[in-house]
Structure 1
Amino acid sequence: MTNEELLPATRRALTHRIATAQTEGRAPSLVAAVVRGGELVWTGSRTSVDGHGPDENVQYRIGSITKTFTAVLVMRLRDEGVLDLADPLEKHLPGTGVGEVTIAELLSHRGGLAAETPGQWWERSPASLRPELSDVLGEQPFKHPVGRRFHYSNPGYTLLGSLIEALRGAPWEDVLRREVLEPLGLNRTSGQPMAPSAGGWAVHPWADVLLPEPVEDLGLMAPAGQLWSTTADLARFAVFLMRGDDRVLCLDSVREMKAPAAVAELGDTEQTYGLGVSIVRFSGGALIGHTGSLPGFVASLWTCEEDDVAAVVLANCTSGLPVATVAAELVRIVAEAEPRIPEPWRPLPEVDPSVLELTGPWHWGTSTQVLRLAADGAVQLGPLAGGGRGSRFRPNGDGTWTGLDGYYAGELLRAVRRPDGSVSHLDLGSFVFTREPYDAKAPVPGGVDPEGWRGLA
């Protein structure tokens, strides 16, 4: 479906929101972009950079959004079979002193490592102060037991960058450019600023005056926050995060990155973290992406698959402007003003009769479940009504399916047939699903009372 331009009222609402944000947040400049249907449909900016109005091609530093790029490189190594996410770091990067931490724990900030490096504030000091990983980790690198809780860690992503360099035999940024930036056409994303670029500023909290922030090369810490980018490039990256790209990472692996792996804030189950991405759930969907900040810059990228909308906001101030909130509100403005028009329903071109006969109601104990056939050959199994366990399953080509998400992620679903070929029941992770509640003709664990269902006087 061809993407239509946003309506004038929607465009004005977007402009009004960033104008308010720039004024109230007192940012020297702000740029923003919105993606819908896989295309860049709106850009906006406020004030100037070097005397000119910034546009979608002006670079800003994006801080920790860099971590999502680093995570993509790690997932590529996994997909190639070079590593497993369950591998301890020591297997591939020996001698760090924290080698028991797994790669998945580093990606999801569950490694128990410190949030920052020891010594001077690393974002405002030379990388020459941290020439070795031991300088990044310090003498006491752990703040929590490994795997016990979410604790955001910049050194953790330094380790992942070093892991990439060790396995690829090339600098992290070179690998990133070759394997991600060039295939996706992100030609204005780089480790060092390229003109035109915005300067970073600190805004005095009690006066409308500015102080320039230093621009440091982060050295070993680069995989945690080094990159500079533009709203146009990050808009393309947002499309990749929603749709995948087989040249970089297939859609199933991108979806794996976006599955919750850790509760990001204790007591707040609506905010979680996947493998290199933040996840903020709301009624009817989720925002998935990342925020970033370095002295002089704040950044946010959010995608919303349910509405097929993404937004990017970049500004050149150290603090004061809530970019994550502003980007989320840009998504909301478009989603509410111009709700997504669904694709036309079309019947399947063909269907396997042996799969079709499995569709419809099943019973797990007394709970009614429904198995549905999806257009891509997958099946979905979940409660007939209300909440409860449910998952989507991909076909394995041998009459079985593997769970992709939810409670049954990774579990095997198979139809058990009688000698005459008729279906007896579904077997899923030791659970027996029958056509009738506690079907006496099926091998229900524990058996079924021979007197059957009855009333109670």
Structure 2
Amino acid sequence: MTTPHEELLPATRRALLHRIAVAQAEGRAPSLVAAVVRDGRTVWHGSRTSVEGHGPDENVQYRIGSLTKTFTAVLVLRLRDEGRLDLGDALEKHLPGTGAGEATIAQLLAHSGGLAAESPAPWWERTPGSLRPELVDVLGPDPLRHPVGSRFHYSNPGYTVLGALVERLREAPWEDVLRREVLAPLGLHRTSGSPQAPHAGGWAVHPWADVMMPEPVEDLGLMAPAGQLWSTTGDLARFAVFLARGDERVLSAESVREMRTPAAPSDAADLAAGSAYGLGMQLQHRDGRLLVGHSGSLPGFLAGLSISVEDDVAAVVLANCTSGPQVWGTAADLVGIVAEAEPRIPEPWRPLPAVDPAVLELAGPWYWGTQGFGLRLAAGGDLALEPLTGVGRRARLRANGDGTWTGCDGYYAGELLTVVRRPDGSVSHLDLGSFVFTRTPYDGEAAVPGGVDPDGWRGTDGIR
């Protein structure tokens, strides 16, 4: 039987190598490097390069572009968890005078704050940050492109604002805060704002000829929280483990789960592509699998990090070219190769160590009107509500410690489940966000809204 720390099978390793070889060759990347994580540790590393006899390893830095945004989001969530801010706070409360103060912090994290996609010209990715010394230079005189909260519209200036928010509340430069609060605790010692040897050079590859030209490397200044960082596959593999599991030194598992939850309105194109955005993380349904992570690009570099939390597999792909290889898709393919070739072995079933009889009596079938549901006790004291037909609303409900539960996902997210008991202590019904669930369909002895016909159920002979 496969053990949690067993190495990948030779056939799987070859399939991974083949996939990145195709990506590098067809994408015409000067170099491409990748890593795969399973069960919390790196189990594979590979690279392809145009330099004979040399390949980058897991310690060579590449610029990761917008993957930086996920790091910035972690810093903001830390401030929330400490009580320094609320995600529903308007930006103006903490950082007044930006012209975008109506947007909430959550909306900025989810790119639904209505801000422009880019800063005013010249293009910030190929010009020095010194050209934009103040936030007004980043946001411009008219920073909004859409009504606040109305739609998802990816915004690089939005993350500049979030970086400025971190600096204001921490009273320290963004990169210093990042190093102290995230990089050092997670052991990401090869992640930095400026390149540190060994690092790859960034290249533009001619679209119609196999020739190259070096891309400039600029310090992005105030735009740094949106795309400044350099990192390695080794560091990003460790970061992927954190994004899947959390780390109490940085963010709890619950908070990183919140980052992975859709938080922005999706337009028709997003829905068609099966994609969404959380709090600093991209989400995509691909080949029946939910993948979370982020892509990144700056002139000369491409980056992709993709995680399947359910499969406990993640992949990182980095390349040093402006365009060509689809690194986000390649990372997703690497995840799929491992998850499908070597599916996760489930943990052995084990009975609960103890159970509250008052909770146990809730397990079993319930009916909302005529629709049947099953309520099952889940690990950790949660409840799982599932339609008996497989079609309908389902929910996981977390215990509040006072005999009630709160919905964690889907239609019932945030809704309260209350057990309504009769004077003798027996259970009458369940109230879930005003919906009454009874042990039998339309139980006449329960408080069913609208009441129950006193003549009860009948066949055609009983219809008058």
**What TM-score does the superposition give when structure 1 sets the normalisation length?**
0.98
Match of 1:259 in 2: 261
Note the C-alpha offset of 1:387: 2.6
Note the C-alpha offset of 1:284: 3.9
- Matched-pair identity in %: 75
- Which secondary structure state, in structure 1, belongs to the residue aligned with residue 223 of structure 2? helix
- Which secondary structure state, in structure 2, belongs to the residue aligned with residue 438 of structure 1? coil
Note the C-alpha offset of 1:51: 7.8
The more displaced of 128-137 and 255-264 is 255-264
Match of 2:422 in 1: 418
- Aligned mates of 1:7, 1:226 — CA distance in 2: 37
Match of 2:112 in 1: 110
- Which secondary structure state, in structure 2, belongs to the residue aligned with residue 63 of structure 1? coil
> AA paired with 1:312?
V
Match of 2:303 in 1: 299
> AA paired with 1:215?
V
Note the C-alpha offset of 1:50: 11
| Superposition pairs of residues 117-132 of structure 1, within 5 angstroms | 117-132=119-134
CA contact (8 A) 1:307 1:339 kept: yes
- Aligned mates of 2:64, 2:30 — CA distance in 1: 16
Match of 1:337 in 2: 341
CA contact (8 A) 1:263 1:271 kept: no
The one of 426, 430, 437 equivalent to 2:441 is: 437
| Superposition pairs of residues 30-429 of structure 1, within 5 angstroms | 30-47=32-49, 52-269=54-271, 270-282=274-286, 284-429=288-433
- Aligned mates of 2:286, 2:32 — CA distance in 1: 26
> AA paired with 1:299?
A
> AA paired with 1:353?
P
> AA paired with 1:200?
G
Residues 281-336 of structure 1, C-alpha deviations (whole Å, 9 max, x = no match): 14543010000000000000000012111000000000011111111111111111
CA contact (8 A) 1:61 1:297 kept: yes
Go from structure 1 to structure 2 and tell me whether the alpha carbon gap of 1:83 and 1:5 turns closer, same or farther (over 3 Å shift): same
Note the C-alpha offset of 1:48: 6.1
CA contact (8 A) 1:43 1:56 kept: yes
Note the C-alpha offset of 1:263: 4.5
Go from structure 1 to structure 2 and tell me whether the alpha carbon gap of 1:265 and 1:295 turns closer, same or farther (over 3 Å shift): farther
- Aligned mates of 1:229, 1:136 — CA distance in 2: 25
- Aligned mates of 1:151, 1:160 — CA distance in 2: 16
Residues 187-208 of structure 1, C-alpha deviations (whole Å, 9 max, x = no match): 1111111110001000011111
Match of 1:13 in 2: 15
Aligned residues: 457
- Aligned mates of 2:53, 2:342 — CA distance in 1: 35
- Aligned mates of 1:181, 1:94 — CA distance in 2: 29
Go from structure 1 to structure 2 and tell me whether the alpha carbon gap of 1:204 and 1:267 turns closer, same or farther (over 3 Å shift): closer
CA contact (8 A) 2:150 2:265 kept: no
CA contact (8 A) 2:151 2:267 kept: no
The more displaced of 257-266 and 207-216 is 257-266
CA contact (8 A) 1:362 1:369 kept: yes
- Aligned mates of 2:92, 2:227 — CA distance in 1: 24
> AA paired with 2:342?
E
The more displaced of 361-370 and 260-269 is 260-269
Note the C-alpha offset of 1:71: 0.7
Which stretches in structure 2 are left out of the alignment for 5+ residues? none
CA contact (8 A) 1:50 1:198 kept: no
Residues 9-48 of structure 1, C-alpha deviations (whole Å, 9 max, x = no match): 1101111111111111110111000001111000001126
- Aligned mates of 1:188, 1:48 — CA distance in 2: 24
> AA paired with 1:248?
V
- Which secondary structure state, in structure 1, belongs to the residue aligned with residue 460 of structure 2? coil
- Aligned mates of 2:307, 2:249 — CA distance in 1: 21
Backbone CA RMSD of aligned residues: 1.3
- Which secondary structure state, in structure 2, belongs to the residue aligned with residue 262 of structure 1? coil
Note the C-alpha offset of 1:126: 0.8
> AA paired with 1:7?
L
CA contact (8 A) 1:265 1:272 kept: no
- Aligned mates of 1:51, 1:69 — CA distance in 2: 34
**What TM-score does the superposition give when structure 2 sets the normalisation length?**
0.96
CA contact (8 A) 1:86 1:103 kept: yes
Go from structure 1 to structure 2 and tell me whether the alpha carbon gap of 1:176 and 1:404 turns closer, same or farther (over 3 Å shift): same
- Which secondary structure state, in structure 1, belongs to the residue aligned with residue 176 of structure 2? helix
> AA paired with 1:446?
G
Note the C-alpha offset of 1:266: 2.3
> AA paired with 1:385?
T
The more displaced of 106-115 and 280-289 is 280-289
Residues 333-389 of structure 1, C-alpha deviations (whole Å, 9 max, x = no match): 111111111111111111111111101111111111111111111111121222321
- Which secondary structure state, in structure 1, belongs to the residue aligned with residue 112 of structure 2? coil
> AA paired with 2:426?
S
